[in-house]
Structure 1
Amino acid sequence: MLLLAPMEGLLDATLRDVLTRLGGVDRCTSEFIRITNTLLPERAFIRVVPELLNGGRTAAGVPVRPQLLGSDPQLLAENAARLATLNPPGIDLNFGCPAKTVNNSRGGAVLLDEPELVGRIVAAVRRAVPAQVPVSAKMRLGYLDDARAEDNALAITEAGADELVIHARTKAQGYKPPAHWARIAQVAQALPAKRPVLIANGEIWTAEDAARCRALTGCEHLMIGRGQITDPGLAHAIQGGEPVPWSRIVPLLPLFWARVSARVERRHRAGRLKQWLNYLRHRHAAAQQAFDELRLHHDPEAIAAWIEQAQQRWGRPEAAEARSAQPC
């Protein structure tokens, strides 16, 4: 199983739609839905996970599991119960977000200093939703250090989670390489035989990375994030497919732009396209050229015209491959 990671402010429904069209991704996890002091209306869940209106799947048919973030077990349980009425393909719980604003509000990775609370949250949500709705959790190795990694994983296990994703870094380590894959294997050894499906996450940029991660963690199942955004063919390659060339990515640009134009305020649209191109340029030389050409453009009409020209310029596979073969 290969999962697409939740990435707040980046990997939203628009990018999920685009990235799952190239194959290889078995399931997505949404950006977090913050639960503070109220029972959210259904529209709040649908706003973050519009795929709930499509059977909980992207246009390519890939399931999307909504993720909840908060610290109040009862309130999370009540919201999970309401979310379950929308027939999601499971509910995920966030114990890994490293953002300072989130942690200061007692959400995300900071909860890893309180394994007992983590367990109570998972148990409350598990009790609140129907048995056929899977409950999963995503955690880091810890907050400032990894001393309680085993305690948190055991609390999540004993609370009845079906799956557990472990990002192989602490909050303090952020996204700095390396990811400590071997530490996931140590955590796994501390768990009972009857445990959640374990999924490894962190620093998987290539199919070779995926193979090494599997070997060091003992986890067959993986979650990928920035690697897939940088190389939209990564999941396909990990699953044994051929590399996805730039010529197959170019037709996704107008789709991405159309979705952004429908969901994002006019003044922020250009930034969303540049944000993705900024990742793509580390894998495809043609994306570097595209990023350079659009760097100073902010007008949506001008960008729409550029995208149309890009289709003509890079639409022919042989032309696209020649440009992408140039070194970055």
Structure 2
Amino acid sequence: MTEQETLLGAPGARLRSAWQAARGSHPQARVRDIAAILGVPEASLVASQVGEAARRLGSDFAALIRALPTLGEVMVLTRNQHCVHEKVGSFGRISIPGHIATVANGEVDLRIFLNHWHHGFALEEALPEGKTRRSLQFFDAEGVAVHKIYARPETDLAAWEALVAAHLAPAQDDSFAPITLPAAPPLRPDAEIDVAALRQDWLALEDTHDFARMLRAHKAGRHQALRLVGEDLAFRLTPAAPRALLEAAADSATPIMVFTRNRGCIQIHTGPVHNIKVTGPWLNVLDARFDLHLREDAVAEAWVVRKPTRDGWLTAVELYDSTQEYFTLFFGGRKPGQPELESWRGIVASLTKA
């Protein structure tokens, strides 16, 4: 049995010890990075803190989400392997008709896929100068983080503690048993896709939310559809597109929409961006209430994607990694019923084709 396999099934005390040792060797590493170094899911390290810095939450995540407006202002964080999306705001305008929860409260704009929320924890981490960092962290069945909520100075800490107390799991154990999710089925070969029918249905779209349903109907992958549908509807840009896009949006004060996704959550920023900085491989937006950290070296392909809607044609820039999975989308800032901004179209037209 390898050291990683031993740690994967280790009790909390042993994982805590391994975490502390790894932190000593990698003082700047975040918990996600240390989990990768140790070869365990991030949720294993968080669970190992139960009884000390962490408390395990129950599984009624819909009820917990409905209670989040009581906290007031918080910071919400959704990330994937290549992009971290952070927003400051408060919860509200929550709708949970089934396994999809929608939070549409302006700055906090989320689409939550509850069937991928399997584990939750409340953490209180000691920081230098006697400060405490409080967070609510949620993970999928494999132990990958799907969403995190951090307290801020403006957060109602009494409401925070009341929410945690009301949603504690009956068993406060420090173990974590990941479940390996089944791999996605292989795509159909390109030759089996009826491209003419795909184009016909694409051109008949009236709402961007119908796009995924259309792909399922044609049993086509997203990247596959972009490759096949024709350059009038989708064409490639160079991987430098996201930096050029963000800098142009900042220079022109054009509001944009930024979608960052994982299997359990999509988090959306709508508005302007201002402070664009590049640090090593990271392309960053560092604004007062919105931070984005995007690895430029993970952008294998960038695509312009055009869709018709009741409000006119909409244009997106979609980022794909080396596995042909999309991880971040950009649109022009708009609300339903409004046409796309001409300034956004101008930004997209200025980007370099591949």
Answer yes or no: same fold by TM over 0.5: no
Q: Tell me the TM-score normalised to structure 1 length.
A: 0.25
Look at both structures and tell me which one has the larger radius of gyration over its CA atoms: 2
Per residue, is there more helix in 1 or in 2? Answer: 1
Structure with higher strand content: 2
TM-score for the superposition, normalised by structure 2:
0.24
